[in-house]
Each structure stands twice: as C-alpha cells, then as structure tokens.
Chain A
Amino acid sequence: MIEKADQIFVLLQHWLVSFLPAGLQPVAGVLLSVVVIVCLFPALFALAVWMERKGLGRIQNRLGPNRVGPFGLLQPIADGIKSLTKEDIVPRSADAAVHFLAPVVLVVTVFMGFAVLPMGRNMVLADMDAGLLFYFAMGASTELAVFMAGWSSRNKYSLLGAMRAVAQMISYEVVLLLSSVAVVMITGSLSLTKIVEAQNHYSWGLPHWYIFTPWGCAGFVMYAIAATAETNRSPFDLPEGESELVAGYHTEYSGFKFALFFLGEYLAMFSISGLGTTLFLGGWSAPFSWLGWVPSWIWFFSKLMLSIFVFIWMRGTLPRLRQDQLMNFAWKFVLPMCLLNLLVAGLWRFMGDGWPRWVVCSAILVLAYVGMGWGEMRRKHFGARSYRYAE
C-alpha cells in the first residue's frame, strides 16, 4: 500500500501506456511525462504567484489579494485571462522575429531543466549520466533568451536590463557551478538520481543530507545566493529594477509574451529550487527515517515549496543591491569562498570517517567566513551618507 502510494504516478503512467501497442509505449511514456510536467509546473506557478502576493502582503502588514475566489485563490486565473486578452504590442522598430523568439526560447530552455530532476523515487523523465551537466547547459541557454529579448526590443531600458541580466547570470553561474561541484566531488557522479541515493540513508533516524556537513552547509548557502541571482529575484533583481529600468529586458513585452516571461521566471525558480533540493536537501528522501512511509514525491514538492517560501521571504526583507556591490559580492566574496569550499570538500573526502574531519572542515570554513567578513566590513565606513556636491 505504502509502496503503491509512493509509486502512484509511475504505476499510473504504466497503466495508461499499456493500452497502446508495444512499439509506441516508450515514446508515449515519455510524452505523457512531458505533458504532466508542462501542466504541473504552470499550475504550481499560479499557486506560487498567489503565495508570493499573499506572503509579501502579510510581511508588509497588508492582506494581499482577497477578492477573486476564497482568499483570493482565483487571482492567478484572473491574471492569466487578463494577460491573454491584452493586446500584443510589438514596437515598430523592434526586431520582430527575435522579439517573438526570445520568450519562447526562454520558456523552452527552462522547461528542459525539469527533465533531469528526480521528483520522487523512480520519477525522473530522463535519467542521464550527465544530468547535472545537462541542467547547467540548459540554464546557460536562458541567458541568450534574455539577451535576445533585450536587444530586439530596441529600447535602452530593455538593452540595459538585458546587459545587466547577462552579466549577473554569467557571474553567478560560476558560483552556482562551483558550489555544485563539491557535491559531485563527494558523490562521484553527475547523475542526479545517484546524488539523491547517496543522501538517502539514515543514522540514528537522521538523514545524511549534504546540508548537514560543513562543506554542504557552506555550499548550500552559496548555492542559494547564486540561485537567487540566477533567477533575478530580489535582492538581485537589478535586471528589472523598476525604479531605474521600467521593467528591464521585458519592458517592451505585453500580453501573452509578457506572461511567458513571467512564467519563465517562476519556472526557473522552481527548477533551481528543485536542483538545490536534490543536491543538498536530499531530494525526495524523508527528513527522518520514521517518516519514510510518506510518498517520496510529497517530500520533494514540500521542500520545493519551502524554498519558494524562502525566496518570497527574502524578497520581502532585503533591498536591492547596486551593480558594483553585486559584482564585488560575486567575484570577491562568494567565488573565493566557493573555491575554498572545494578544497574543504576534498579534505572531507580524504580524511576518513570520525570527528577530526568535522572539526577541521568546520574550522576552516568558519574562520574564512569570519575573516573575510571582518576584512570586508573594516573597509566600509558606516555612518551618515555624505554628498560630494550637495550641501
């Protein structure tokens, strides 16, 4: 029974596919999974938008949307209908073909990333050896879509937003990759299913998730920072900084194409949260061994939504960074810490079991963090803002 609940989607797929002739079955199975992913995540997107608006409202002591449906739950549907019925405006001097292609490329590449995420036991669309590499390859392609959108709009705000977005995504992609490499080093595999399986065992009822190791904890923090920057979420939302750039690279988009960008942004958030969950939070494994009877996909999606909630919480808390702060943070703080973390992961791998590796690895990371933080803070002069020309 428990086994059935855990594998319900896999069994359902097999059952549906079994009606078809044997030759078509593999293709049909894949197509079915694709359809489910393509339907499920936009539905989750609607839910996340509702959650975000409600959550931000509560953080600012407001109610959030509460008119459409109970607790405003139908608000995303109303928004969707609105954006579908809006006029699709293409600026006269815009590059129409590229302008049209950009949102399509973005959404397609973001959707591709979901193919390798194990969303439950045996629930992965394409279990490849190089799953992580595939994910990053797809993630890198979204940059081009952002550039296409910004460039083809023939609008200075769009272009500036796109340039910022691309510069930011390239900078933080390095961090994202390096923080994931630590996991690959320990697991010895690029396959995401193998990474989850490596974390899916327990001692004293507690899981062996990578976040509960010194290098994993540090790696997770850096992964989270890079993920926030990769998805252009606050506090790294400079590419669409509305106070200076109108809306960044999607300034000139309206109607359904704008909705696609919006969807792409949230899908990127989901997929990057899913990858973070897989790499550091044990993927679909239960947090305690006695909770093992709960279906694995429930764990994956609860962890996913929890990460989304943290994204929203961060957005409600932190102000936007400045461009130079953003770049300095990436190259002068997070990247060195990432390189150090690789070293620590290597130490962890070769120091053998026992407590010494815990002490040594933690000490190196904490000392580096405190030292770098102290160095950074010492150079800053806090106090009242001074002006050069005013006064």
Chain B
Amino acid sequence: MLGEGILKGLAETARNFAGSFVSAERLTTVQYPEQRIAPIEATRDFPFLVYDGKDWEAGMRCVACQICEKECPPKCIYIVKSTDKKPDALGKMQIYPTRFDIDISVCMSCQICVEVCPFEAIKMDTEFELSTTDRFGGLLLDRKQLSKSNEHYHRIHPTEAAEVDARLAGEKAKSDAKAKAATAAAAAKAAAAPASSAAAPSPAATDAAPAASAALAETDVAPGGNGAGNPAVGPADGESRA
C-alpha cells in the first residue's frame, strides 16, 4: 500500500533514536580530543620524507630526482636540487634537495609520489592535526618539517616499513658485495700493477677505485667503503635492523 515504506522508515529511525539511549554499542562516537582511537595501519594523509639515523639532514634518503614533483597530479611538490653532492644512506655520493616543499593545502593524498619514488624516501604520514592560523605559510611544509625518522615510519606503518627495510637491506647487501668485489678487483689490479709502476702502490689503488665505480655506476652500485665512505651508513644500518 502507498505510504507503507514511509512508516517502515519512521519505525526504523525511531528504533535508532531509542536504541542510542539504551545500547552502548549503537553509539560509536568517541569524545575526540580527550578520547582517541589509534588510526588503522592503512591510514594516510600527507607525505613525509624519511631519514635514517639521528640527523635529518645527513640521513635524508631523498636524492632530489624530482620524479615525485613531476608525477604529482595537483603539483604540490617543489624541489630545488643541490649543486654539490653528499653521500646518501648507501654511501654513494648523491645530489640532495636544498628545498623540498609540499603544500598540504593542495595535496590530495593520492600517494602517487610514494609509489613512484625509487629511493623509498617519501612515505605517507598519519598526522591529521595540522590546523594552523596561517593558511598560506602554515600549510606549506619545508623539508625540515617534512623530515621524519625511520622509527616514526615504523611506528605508523609497521608492516610496510619492515618490508621497505628488508628491501633496502637487500640492496645494501648487494651493493656491499659488488663494492667488495670491485675493491678486491682493484686490489688485485693494484697487486698486478707493481710490475709496470712499482713506485707507488697506494696512489694507484685510490685511482683505481673511482674508475671501477664509474664502470659500475650504470648498475646503481655505490663506491666501495674506502676512506671516502659515508659515516652515516653504519648507524643507519644498525637502526633499520633494530
């Protein structure tokens, strides 16, 4: 009959109305600022930059390759490359971002920057209490504000972070092995060299190492751990395994 559905609907809402006073599980409201529920693991809102170790500037994984800047659909990322190089987490000399800004008022939380980053340097944060009194400056985060430690990443997305760390450790081990092989080859070359230039074996070895690394640069392998190695590598590895 006509109007039956309306009556059914009214009964349903009446049941909800009365039920919310009697049964506690109907009321799912959490009294937010005092009471909080932990966000689920897949929560994401805005990107942050991961760094290894204690020092955000030294341990920054980002190498300013600008892939994320180009891929970002709303174009909220702004990167300025450095002119000099500094060793990255794997010890390789890399360019680093002198500026890395994300305008979170523009960001749409699509996670494309995370998906395209080859260096696992940018990840999604879960921090949502970002309100500010300055709607322009306050929502434009620079690289210092964006940098968060690997431990923070582990805290907010444990499963994902463990996977990333395993992958990075694998790469590190591979590059270490290759570097070792390269240094061994260089050493062997150096050992074979004395016949031709017996005068100075040690300068010859230091010359040979960059040459070997240049040959292997295509395969994305860091130079061997000689005197120019990265001081941050050791602690970073220790942390990521912790």
Q: Do chains A and B touch in the complex (CB under 8 A)?
A: yes
Say whether B185 faces chain A, with CB atoms less than 8 Å apart: no
User: Interface segment, B1-9, B66-74, B197-205, B220-228?
Assistant: B1-9
CB atoms of A58 and B16 under 8 A apart: yes
CB atoms of A373 and B3 under 8 A apart: yes
CB atoms of A61 and B9 under 8 A apart: no
Q: Write out the residue numbers on chain B whose beta carbons fall within 8 Å of the beta carbon of A317.
A: 6, 9-10, 12-13
CB atoms of A370 and B20 under 8 A apart: no
CB atoms of A63 and B16 under 8 A apart: no
Q: A55-B17, A59-B16, A60-B16 are in contact. Are A372 and B2 (CB under 8 A)?
A: yes
Say whether B83 faces chain A, with CB atoms less than 8 Å apart: no
Fill in one digit per residue for B157-197: 1 if any A CB lies within 8 Å of its CB, else 0.
00000000000000000000000000000000000000000
Q: When chains A and B are docked, how far (Å) is the Cα of A318 from the Cα of B6?
A: 7
Say whether B75 faces chain A, with CB atoms less than 8 Å apart: no
Q: When chains A and B are docked, how far (Å) is the Cα of A313 from the Cα of B12?
A: 11
CB atoms of A369 and B10 under 8 A apart: no
CB atoms of A61 and B6 under 8 A apart: no
Chain A contact residues: helix, strand, loop or mixed: helix
Say whether B21 faces chain A, with CB atoms less than 8 Å apart: yes
Size of the A side of the interface (Cβ < 8 Å), in residues, is 19
CB atoms of A318 and B9 under 8 A apart: yes
User: Interface segment, B26-34, B51-59, B104-112?
Assistant: B26-34
CB atoms of B2 and A61 under 8 A apart: no
Shortest distance from the beta carbon of A382 to any chain B beta carbon, whole Å: 11
CB atoms of A373 and B2 under 8 A apart: yes
CB atoms of B27 and A369 under 8 A apart: no
Say whether B14 faces chain A, with CB atoms less than 8 Å apart: yes
**CB-CB contacts below 8 Å: A307-353 with B:** 313-314, 316-318
Q: When chains A and B are docked, how far (Å) is the Cα of A313 from the Cα of B13?
A: 8
Which one of B1, B6, B9, B21 contacts A370 once the chains associate, using CB atoms below 8 Å? B1
Which residue from chain A places its CB closest to the CB of B19 in the assembled complex? A61
CB atoms of A61 and B1 under 8 A apart: no
List 20 contacting pairs A-B, 8 Å CB cutoff, sorted by A. A58-B20, A59-B16, A60-B16, A61-B16, A61-B20, A61-B26, A62-B27, A63-B27, A313-B10, A314-B10, A316-B13, A317-B6, A317-B10, A318-B6, A369-B2, A370-B1, A370-B2, A373-B3, A374-B2, A377-B2
